[in-house]
Amino acid sequence: MISNQLVNELNKQMNFEFLSSHVYMAMGAYCLHENLDGFANFFIVQAEEERFHAMKFFKFLNDIGQKAEISGMDAIPNGFTSVLDCYEKAYAHEKEVTKRIYHLSDIALTEREHATIHFLKWFIDEQVEEESLFDSIIHKLKRIDDDSNAFFMMDTEFASRKFVAPSLNE
């Protein structure tokens, strides 16, 4: 049987995923304000993905007979200075998500809570992809530096990014 501690931590992570969605919306808002529609789209799509992650926790908690508890959230940062600043802060945020997922995994492993261990494996794999994505974009942004053509090409490329949600059961 799943412990109260693990249920509480799963709820915290669900709420952190909702917060992550808002963080990315704030980055999207910054980019839109700067007339960088493609970069804005990147972050808006990322926000949709984070909400999907939150809903996976929501569904899992209910599937195991526990109550998903929605809580308030901390203030969302809005003080961005550049597109690179957004991506660097997003990368740091994803590292925090990874740390939290590992913490959940450690608890589940200690408790030998196999359903939760299996559930969290998807998130562990996802975090490898997320961190790699942001690291790669940061390197590209630093490499192009003041090359406005390359910057415009990235903005254009990101305008076509879409999120197609897989089943919550996957």
Q: What are the pLDDT digits (tens) for 58-78?
A: 999 999 999 999 999 889 999
CATH code for the part of the protein at 4-70+80-159? 1.20.1260.10
Q: Quick check: 122 pLDDT over 80?
A: yes
The structure's pTM equals 0.93
Domain boundaries, the chain: 4-70+80-159
Secondary structure in 3-state letters for the chain: CCCHHHHHHHHHHHHHHHHHHHHHHHHHHHHHHCCCHHHHHHHHHHHHHHHHHHHHHHHHHHHCCCCCCCCCCCCCCCCCCCHHHHHHHHHHHHHHHHHHHHHHHHHHHHHCCHHHHHHHHHHHHHHHHHHHHHHHHHHHHHHHCCCHHHHHHHHHHHHCCCCCCCCCCC
